[in-house]
A and B are shown apart, each in its own frame.
Chain A
Amino acid sequence: MLTKEMNDLLQSAQTYGWVMEPYAKKFFTVAGMDVPRFTWARSLDEAVSFAHEVGYPVVMKIVSPQVVHKSDVGGVAVGIIDNAGLVSAFNRMSTINGFAGVIVEETVQGIELIIGATIDEQFGPVILLGIGGTATEIYHDVGLAMAPLCESDVDKMIRSIKAVSLLEGFRGSERVNIDTLKKLVIRFSELVMDLGDNLESIDLNPVMCSSERCVIADARIMLRR
């Protein structure tokens, strides 16, 4: 079941047409899922003080109701290592259409996955899991399954990813914590079932997966209108 707080966060979609990243991240935090420490900074001062609090390097992203794909408009800056970088990124983003502040967040490491949901006309709520990042559609390396999911469904989805060996520690690289990933996907599928007919689609992309955490680094919720 969705709590009142979660429903209130979704209400923001009424204003903007979709749930913007800060609200979406808050939504998933309330749902018990892992997101990076972040703030929604409306001013440069707020951005700087939060960066000091979590420590550099940090990530900055545009918050704008007019920008759905942030990287397409230069609205994402990763690996900001000092105040100077932060100031220049902030100044640049403040000129983007619909600027409503920026997200500043801690840098999280890991393999970029995508976890998504859509409502299929024939099959209802469907969950997607695969290789994420901005090039996710180019790799198109994903598994799909009908929600709600059980553990063996998620197992099958993971095994259906062609690049599954990247998750298992390819050539000495760090393994992804598969148990954490499975729990996240199952919890996500429960949320999707709770959202029911209201939902149009959700992209959690990227979800940064490492041996310790699976962190939702970006999230967008589109509701039916």
Chain B
Amino acid sequence: MDLEKIFKPDTMAVIGVSLTNENHPANVIYNKNRFRYDARAFAVNPRGGRIRGDVLYKRLEEIPEKIDLAVIAVKAELVLSVVEECINAGVKGAVIVSGGFAETGLSDLQDRLVALARKAQFPFIGPNCLGVYAAPRMDTFFIPSERMVRPEKGRVTMISQSGGVVVDQMVKAAAEGVGLSTAISIGNKALIKEADLLRYFADDPGTDVITFYIEGFGKNEGREFALAASECTKPIIVLKAGKTAAGNKAVSSHTASMAGDYQVFASVMAQKGVVEATDEFELMAFAESLSCYPRSIKGKVGIITGSGGHGALCTDACISHGLVVPVLGEETRLVLKEALSPALRNIASYVNPVDLTGSSTDDDFLAAARVLSRDPGIDCIIMLLLPYIPGITVDLGAKLGMMGQQEGKPIIAYVPHVEKYMIIVEGFNFYNIPVAHSVEDAVHMAEAMRRNKSC
């Protein structure tokens, strides 16, 4: 099935728009698309009429343009007939917002819907979902426009079984400066499942990183997902809920008793190079890191710091996350010492972490980063940038960012995320350098690259 027009429609019909209830999901969706987004939106309701001067079409056929996407927000019992109408009108796909299917025990209704769509090769997302957010083209989330927190346009696609979780992830992405390509809430995933979306976005030129929030897989659905993941060259990140559900399996087999549902999930994800996040914050850190550096590293971290304490905390965190902090070679240490300002040479520490002390300046950070970038024993640099050091300026983020791009070795920065330091964060972000909001977060970003599959 071709999913292209579900995510990239030029025209969309919102079916179920009400003339009496402005809070109806269909109205919320129609309004925001009509006034904010690029796709041309048309409202449909069998009763017809006009809504703020626009025609409320009685039937899809009356719409003067060919419709790519139908957004269906009618009562569950009417969904089948609406889908049939969509198929007959040559619509390319649908987002079915309506609830009242398998999640309320009406599996039979959902099965009939799937059978109808499959026979006609008509793809749909849902039911019981928020659908697709793909600004600036379109947005089917039934959340009033002014309540949305919109991350900048970017290259991360987020797919979620829960609508609430994906909306919250958008808030976090906006706060962390993670750019969003597409956000999808798949609801009951009756027809289009995680594996189908993984295959589609693996080939989507607008997406570099794909994240999933997964609650559960149906029979053999995990296998489909794993097989799709092993063919995907882009970084994939998953966050799993329901890890602790007690599955009482037959105890007659040692293997079955040790291969619990979650152990199998986690092992297969690791086997296929999918990076599993332990919580929502880690997911965002991984997404930020892998969207800047979609690559795989061994995990040999060079730490540059202006504070010995931060260096020590960072080293501990690296070790506990399976990274190494190798002692720098004799030659690197000598070159490094030469490169620093004379006042620093005898007080800085060169072992790793490289501690530039509170007497350091912009030039010392730049020099240290350049030397470590050229050391083959280091494959990732964590830069602990404490902006309260008197000798460093607000330009340092941009300067290090530019240098990082030139040298090509991954740099991850930690800068406290408070208003007065945001100019440094933005300097890094402009050059596509991920900036963590804590030392631990910076280490997570390095860990993401270590666990990402080697291509």
Contacts and interface: CB of A to CB of B under 8 A. Distances in A.
Co-assembled chains A and B: yes
Contacts of B99: none
B254 A123 contact: no
B177 interface: no
A201 B218 CA distance: 20
A122 B258 contact: no
Contact of B253 (A118, A123, A146, A153): A118
Given A118-B253, A146-B226, A156-B270, A123 B258 contact: no
Contact of A122 (B221, B257, B270): B221
B240 to A, nearest CB: 11
Contacts of A76: none
Given A146-B271, A156-B271, A122 B255 contact: no
Contacts of A145: 267-268, 271
B222 A202 contact: no
Contacts, number: 95
A33 interface: no
A72 B259 CA distance: 22
Interface string B250-289: 1011111111010111011011100000000000000000
A117 interface: yes
A39 interface: no
B223 interface: yes
Contact of A202 (B255, B258, B261, B271): B255
Interface stretch (A55-63, A84-92, A134-142, A167-175): A134-142
B219 interface: yes
Given A144-B264, A153-B271, A156-B271, A123 B222 contact: yes
Given A143-B267, A144-B267, A123 B256 contact: no
B81 interface: no
Given A122-B220, A123-B222, A117 B255 contact: yes
Interface residues of A, number: 31
B430 interface: no
B217 A68 contact: no
A203 interface: yes
B342 to A, nearest CB: 47
A220 B261 CA distance: 22
Interface residues of B, number: 27
A201 B226 contact: no
A123 B226 contact: yes
Interface string A88-105: 000000000000000000
Interface string A127-167: 01010000011001011111000000100100010000000
A75 interface: no
A128 B254 CA distance: 10
B254 A146 contact: no
Interface in B76-120: none
Interface string B348-360: 0000000000000
A114 B254 contact: yes
A120 B259 contact: yes
Contacts of B258: 116, 128, 130, 136-137, 140, 142
Contacts of A126: 259, 264, 267-268
Interface string B182-221: 0000000000000000000000000000000000111111
A13 to B, nearest CB: 13
A205 interface: yes
Contacts of B222: 120, 122-124
A39 to B, nearest CB: 26
Given A122-B222, A124-B223, A201 B256 contact: yes
B259 A121 contact: no
Given A121-B220, A122-B221, 20 more contacts: A116-B255, A118-B255, A122-B216, A122-B220, A122-B222, A122-B265, A123-B226, A126-B267, A137-B254, A143-B267, A144-B259, A144-B264, A144-B267, A145-B271, A146-B223, A146-B271, A153-B271, A156-B271, A203-B254, A205-B254
9 contacts: A118-B253, A121-B220, A123-B217, A136-B254, A144-B263, A146-B267, A201-B255, A203-B254, A222-B252
Interface of B: 216-223, 226, 250, 252-259, 261, 263-265, 267-268, 270-272
The 6 closest A-B pairs by CB, nearest first: A116-B255, A122-B222, A144-B267, A201-B253, A122-B217, A123-B222
